[in-house]
């Protein structure tokens, strides 16, 4: 009995302990359940809306929609740059999904290879390209082939029934219908780098704009304005798409906004004048600039050699670009605005204005023996051999006498000559919209930097005939010629006359802007003009080949030597102006390796004025 009772006592204690544990565990589970219920209650009722918002946000993707880039027109309405319809072949990953990224990318690659054979395309994206797209942007279609031809479009439509998940999408590409005409002015545009875009963080899927890379395309890519559309570049639209748990697009949500097309840029360039100037340059290396002397508008700015913009779009041809870069004639350089040359005698009218301003008598006769001796150096003058010894200012301009210029330059002094050069705009950029060179303004500092010696009287003598430490652009020559023609105003040269938004409303209209004044009184300008008139219209004028019946043309020739020995070359110039039907045109032509300004450039000016102003059939 005791033994049995002893066992009952032990067993009873054990059972009591078990019951206690069970009760405690039950209470703990019950408390945990209460906490869970309370937490669910709190999350569902109090924070439910917030979580629903977060879930929705995780399944939404913002997409950037680029708009049409603005167009570039000539002053006479010819299209220089626009957008043409291109058709691209797209793959939609959501419709080609094969259960896993690897299977899907291989399936897409096989479909692309099949289409490449049908379209006779040499290249298509690799498996890695498709896999990368599925990692980065699985929710948007992938462009497989671009710019399909009409024949390729027909072949794709025939094959579309056999391959699911493909589609054709309209994609505008930049179009340059004028080819190589005004190519340095118009420039080109290419698709922008999305990684460097300022609004990249705003979008999950980023479709970049076309971005201007040179010329007007770059200079007016955007404008400083608070309005929606900025320059040629459009203001982007946006949409929101919903994706599933693996990132494939399911549907477009509300909130799509359409892009605003870019602005149209209307140039001051007259397409007929531009074509004519380029045709006259032909295979020569040089530049041909014509501006409106009364407001600074650039009527044409031709450069030779030039390049074909159609080979820059829709894709830049690497072989063609390398050919341009390796060409010793440097066709990518805009010689009208960027190349710098010694002006030679084309600068002599400006030197005469400096002489007159500093008290020179225009009718004083200077003896020309055919050369000037400065120290141990001699500077020759061809005017003596052809036209005699005695020169006043008008005759010196007509015959392009070096001795006359050197005589007065050494009396007037370097500072007065440099002041007139600065007034005319030399040695600084004009402010034209696209890249330009400032040229070299002669000075003691410049000579010290280049030759480690100070300015002397020989440098002044060279300066007066457009040689030595001075270099100018053809644009600067045209601007200074216009100033002589219009009474002394040095206009800022303009390339753009108007900018119109997508509704045709004017966003910008150019107004003439003066960069300075020659500071020459009317009587001084009249004397210089008399000399320039005789350059062209007298039987012995150095620019007589620039004469045109029916026009009063004022001009000045220039020939500058560069290099030495067997490498000696001539840089030839001709500047001129004329008025026709109330409009004054100023012109500057520069030809490298020409014979002389009078023989090489003056006939081109005459032909331009004759055909552009007088020939009705070409207007």
CA–CA–CA angle 48, 53, 58 (5° rounding): 125
pLDDT at residue 256 is higher than 90? no
Higher pLDDT, 81 or 202: 81
Distance of CA 514 to the CA centre of its chain: 24
Which of the listed ranges 38-47, 371-380, 454-463 does the model predict with the highest average pLDDT?
454-463
Location of structure tokens 């290099």 = 563
pLDDT at residue 3 is higher than 70? no
Structural domain boundaries of the chain?
2-58, 271-322+342-618
pLDDT at residue 145 is higher than 80? yes
| Full-model pTM | 0.84
DSSP secondary structure string, 175-230?
E-TTTTTTHHHH--EEE--GGG-TTGGG-SB--PPEEE-SHHHHHTSS-S-SSSSB
What is the 3-state composition of the chain as percent helix, strand, coil, each rounded to the nearest 5?
40, 25, 35
Taking Cα atoms as reference points, which of 192, 194, 226, 195 lies closest to residue 69? 192
Read off the pLDDT of each residue in 442-467 and give the average, rounded to a whole number: 94
Read off the pLDDT of each residue in 20-29 and give the average, rounded to a whole number: 75
Tell the burial category of 423 from Cβ atoms under 10 Å away from its Cβ (0-12, 13-18, 19+): buried
* Least confident interval from 43-47, 339-343, 449-453, 486-490: 43-47
Return mean pLDDT, the chain.
Answer: 87
Read off the pLDDT of each residue in 99-106 and give the average, rounded to a whole number: 87
Predicted confidence band of residue 615 (pLDDT cuts 50, 70, 90)? confident
Report yes or no: 505 and 264 within 8 Å, Cβ to Cβ. Answer: no
Tell the burial category of 435 from Cβ atoms under 10 Å away from its Cβ (0-12, 13-18, 19+): middle
Name the DSSP letter for residue 572: E
Location of structure tokens 């820059």 = 312
Predicted confidence band of residue 527 (pLDDT cuts 50, 70, 90)? very high
Q: What CATH class has 271-322+342-618? A: alpha beta
Predicted confidence band of residue 555 (pLDDT cuts 50, 70, 90)? very high
Tell the burial category of 322 from Cβ atoms under 10 Å away from its Cβ (0-12, 13-18, 19+): exposed
Predicted confidence band of residue 458 (pLDDT cuts 50, 70, 90)? very high
The predicted structure's pLDDT at residue 21: 74
At 175-228, the pLDDT tens digits run 999 999 999 999 999 888 777 777 777 776 777 888 899 999 999 998 655 444
pLDDT at residue 51 is higher than 70? no
* Least confident interval from 58-62, 258-262, 264-268: 58-62
Report yes or no: 147 and 63 within 8 Å, Cβ to Cβ. Answer: no
The predicted structure's pLDDT at residue 5: 43
The predicted structure's pLDDT at residue 238: 81
The predicted structure's pLDDT at residue 48: 53
């Amino acid at each position: 009995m005791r033994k049995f009772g002893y066992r009952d006592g032990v067993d009873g204690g054990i059972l009591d302990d078990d019951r206690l544990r069970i009760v405690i565990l039950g209470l703990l589970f019950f408390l945990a359940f209460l906490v869970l219920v309370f937490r669910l209650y709190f999350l569902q009722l109090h924070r439910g809306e917030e979580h629903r918002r977060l879930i929705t946000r995780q399944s939404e993707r913002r997409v950037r929609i680029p708009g049409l880039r603005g167009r570039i027109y000539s002053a006479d309405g010819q299209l220089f740059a626009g957008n043409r319809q291109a058709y691209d072949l797209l793959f939609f990953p959501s419709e080609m999904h094969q259960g896993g990224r690897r299977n899907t990318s291989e399936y897409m690659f096989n479909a692309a290879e099949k289409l490449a054979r049908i379209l006779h395309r040499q290249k298509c994206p690799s498996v890695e390209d498709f896999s990368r797209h599925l990692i980065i942007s699985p929710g948007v279609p992938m462009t497989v082939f671009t710019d399909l031809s009409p024949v390729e479009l027909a072949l794709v439509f025939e094959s579309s029934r056999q391959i699911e998940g493909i589609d054709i999408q309209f994609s505008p590409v930049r179009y340059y219908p004028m080819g190589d005409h005004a190519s340095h002015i118009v420039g080109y545009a290419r698709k922008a780098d999305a990684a460097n875009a300022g609004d990249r963080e705003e979008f999950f899927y980023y479709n970049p704009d076309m971005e201007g890379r040179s010329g007007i395309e770059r200079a007016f890519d955007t404008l400083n304005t608070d309005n929606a559309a900025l320059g040629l570049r459009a203001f982007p639209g946006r949409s929101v798409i919903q994706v599933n748990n693996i990132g494939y697009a399911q549907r477009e949500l509300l909130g799509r906004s359409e892009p605003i097309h870019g602005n149209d840029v209307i140039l001051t360039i007259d397409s007929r004048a531009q074509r004519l100037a380029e045709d006259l340059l032909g295979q020569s290396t040089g530049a041909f600039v014509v501006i409106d002397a009364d407001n600074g508008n650039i009527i044409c700015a031709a450069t030779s050699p030039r390049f074909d913009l159609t080979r820059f779009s829709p894709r830049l041809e690497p072989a063609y670009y390398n050919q341009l870069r390796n060409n010793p004639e440097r066709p990518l350089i805009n010689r009208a605005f960027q190349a710098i040359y010694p002006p030679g005698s084309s600068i002599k009218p400006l030197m005469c204005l400096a002489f007159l301003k500093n008290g020179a008598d225009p009718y004083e006769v200077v003896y020309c023996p055919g050369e000037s001796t400065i120290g141990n150096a001699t500077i020759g003058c061809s005017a003596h051999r052809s036209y005699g010894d005695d020169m006043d200012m008008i005759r010196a301009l007509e015959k392009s006498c070096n001795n006359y210029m050197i005589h007065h330059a050494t009396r007037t002094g370097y500072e007065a000559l440099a002041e007139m050069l600065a007034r005319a705009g030399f040695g600084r950029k004009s402010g034209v919209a696209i890249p330009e060179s400032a040229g070299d303004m002669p000075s003691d500092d410049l000579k010290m930097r280049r030759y480690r010696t100070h300015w002397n009287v020989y440098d002044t003598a060279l300066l007066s005939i457009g040689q030595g430490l001075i270099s100018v652009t053809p644009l600067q020559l045209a601007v200074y010629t216009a100033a002589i023609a219009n009474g002394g105003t040095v206009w800022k040269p303009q390339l753009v006359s108007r900018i119109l938004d997508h509704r045709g409303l004017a966003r910008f209209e150019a107004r003439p802007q003066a960069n300075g004044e020659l500071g020459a009184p009317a009587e001084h300008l009249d004397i210089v003009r008399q000399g320039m008139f005789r350059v062209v219209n007298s039987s012995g004028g150095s620019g007589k080949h620039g004469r045109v019946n029916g026009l009063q043309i004022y001009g000045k020739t220039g020939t500058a030597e560069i290099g030495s020995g067997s490498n000696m070359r001539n840089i030839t110039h001709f500047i001129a102006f004329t008025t026709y039907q109330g409009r004054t045109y100023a012109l500057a032509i520069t030809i490298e390796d020409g014979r002389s300004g009078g023989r090489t450039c003056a006939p081109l000016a005459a032909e331009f004025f004759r055909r552009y102003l007088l020939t009705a059939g070409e207007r």
